Amino acid sequence: MSFLGWLSQPAVLPWVALAIGLCVGSFLNVVIHRLPRMMEREWRAQCAELAAGADAARTAAGTAVATAREDAPYNLWVPRSACPSCGHRIGALENVPLLSWLWLRAKCSACGAAISLRYPVVELAGGVLAAYAASRYGLTPAALGAAIFCCGLLALGAIDLDTQLLPDDITLPLLWAGLAFNLGATFAPLGSAVLGAIAGYLSLWSVYWLFKLVTGKEGMGYGDFKLLAAIGAWLGWQMLPLVILLSSIVGAAVGIGLMVFTRHGRDKPIPFGPYLAAAGAIALFWGSDIARRWLPLLA
């Protein structure tokens, strides 16, 4: 039996996908933690240049270059992962998905500071989503696409939950990746995917401006438009009503729960991205079944 034949076995492929997904989930933790900070550093550099004024553009540019040279590099690869409390560099044995968190008993080996439960949760979610995609679609481009889509949604949902930001560095590549996979109608015909991207953006854009005209307040951010556009690019325009319905139901339930049980103030914004992300993943795997079985009952 060839390697691809062995790998495609139903008893093998999901476990391989689980292992790969756990590793990808570990990297997603880095993305979730660092990408917003990288954005903030870029914004500060831009503000410093603007503050210098148009007449001092050359001086500002020189200062920005000098500052960039003085600052230590900070991106998704450099510096190495370290404990935020004591700066202890995390070694390879301390960075094994799930197992290291359990072995360390959720504490830093150097200072004993608690390691957030979010890290193993994101790793486990990445592994489970990849394994389910593999078991559902087999060794096909659809399995790879579903895993990429879900990992992108996972990162975006966690970042929005932490910072109320949905970075273009993820939403826009996710949108284009959806269109690329649907060149061969992997999840939806290309025409439906293009219309999904357009309709996804314009639908929330319209709600945003209607809400702002009526109340004078901003009800959501532009990142939500782009995220729904990306979901539409993957799933097609037909799935957008279901995605919006599911995200609204989950968002309303969680919002009410937060206000009742945690005294979450009504004036305190609740990020919509995590609910859109969850609805997108649900619609990917079970959207057709839900639309066929449950939507007629609601109608």
254-270 confidence digits (pLDDT tens): 777 767 766 655 566 67
Tokens of 218: 């901003």
| Residues 6+ away with beta carbon under 8 Å from 132 | 14, 285
Mean pLDDT along residues 94-112: 91
In angstroms, rounded to a whole number, what is the distance separating the alpha carbons of residues 22 and 16? 10
Nearest alpha-carbon partner for 179 in 239, 232, 238, 244: 232
Tokens of 271: 């990020």
Residue 298: pLDDT above 60?
Answer: no
Global pTM value: 0.88
pLDDT of residue 3: 80
Q: Which residue has the tokens 């700066």?
A: 87
| Model confidence pLDDT, tens digit, residues 150-188 | 999 999 999 999 999 999 999 999 999 999 999 999 999
DSSP class of residue 98 equals T
Mean pLDDT along residues 103-110: 90
**Least confidently predicted of 42-56, 150-164, 170-184, 239-253:** 42-56
Tokens of 135: 């078991």
**Least confidently predicted of 58-72, 74-88, 135-149, 224-238:** 58-72
pLDDT of residue 70: 45
Which band of pLDDT confidence, cut at 50, 70 and 90, is reported for residue 69?
very low
Return the percentage of the chain with pLDDT > 70, whole number: 88
In angstroms, rounded to a whole number, what is the distance separating the alpha carbons of residues 115 and 83? 9
**Least confidently predicted of 31-45, 128-142, 187-201:** 31-45
pLDDT of residue 258: 67
Q: pLDDT averaged over the chain?
A: 87
